[in-house]
Amino acid sequence: MKTAFVFPGQGSQYVGMCKDLYERFELVQQIVESANSILGFRISDVMFDGPMDSLKLTDITQPAIFIHSIAISELIKSNSSITISADASAGHSLGEYSALVAAGSFSFEDGLKLVRLRGQSMLQAGIDNPGTMAAIIGLSPEIVEDICKRASDSGIVQCANFNSPGQIVISGSIDGVRKAMELAKSEKAKLAKELVVSGAFHSPLMESAKEKLLAKLKVTQLNDANIPVYTNVSAKPVTHTEEIEKSLFLQLNNPVRWEETIINMINDGFTKFYELGPGKVLQGLIKRINPEVQIFGIDTVEDVERVLNV
């Protein structure tokens, strides 16, 4: 029986995130204050008190979720009375950076700088090349991929997130995505809903962000991971620095294969999953992928006390 730590991505943020952990645990306070110093502004003020309009900006959201997730990961590592540990990790989009820090592939400081640059670059790419995303519910991956091909006459559009059975997100130009939504409705999708996002994430419209990220990765100290990290791009485990760098580079304009990732982990013997960080998004997705596995969430002090017995 193997245990995995999984880390949430953008969309899991909420006003007040990490605040109770900061007030309760000195280690979390040290991590958050270190992040404020590294970033050069008090991101904790936005995390704790909002406003939500600021917190949901891509360049703020991504480091905020990363900080929250790593604070919990470090709490687990630092407390000798906590007996849970991970045999592998994975993260949804942004969460892959948290998973890699938890696996020892790069430091918290370097991870935070990468995540901040990633968020800024994705935000700018969305300004330079406006696009959108949409959730398609109730259709198979094959049908949605075919819809994207058929809609490509209207503009760029591709699958961005294979989240769980029947839940797929598409991404691309505004015209391309809206045409695909029309086709999805004609194919009897249960829902085809445009999302409120600042760019077409995981699509070719993120190319400029991808190049900026690669330049930063080239000057970042990467280490082989201590445990396998299942990547978004391949849905398979990696440990070597070359594979890690390539996966992070390709991730920005390729789909997040989350359903396939979890299926592969379960097939590899993982039966217990802990989501570390804000919200419950991944817990919900994993339950839909396989309701038989054990799933826990660690977000608040209450969760820490209940799940970790500290």
Residue type, 202: H
Token reading at 230: 């299942």
Q: Which residues are catalytic?
A: 93, 202
| Contact yes or no for 131/180 (Cβ under 8 A) | no
Residue 164 CA neighbour count, 13 Å, CB half: 12
Q: How far is it, in rounded angstroms, from Cα 141 to Cα 163?
A: 10
Give me the torsion for CA of 203, 209, 210, 216, rounded to 10°. -160
Q: How far is it, in rounded angstroms, from Cα 300 to Cα 277?
A: 8
Cα dihedral sign, 86-291-66-94: positive
Element (H, E) at 38: helix 26-39
Residue 219 CA neighbour count, 13 Å, CB half: 6
Q: How far is it, in rounded angstroms, from Cα 210 to Cα 229?
A: 21
The per-type count for the chain, helices as H runs and strands as E runs, is 14, 10
Token reading at 205: 């419209």
At residue 136, φ and ψ (nearest 5 deg) are: -115, 120
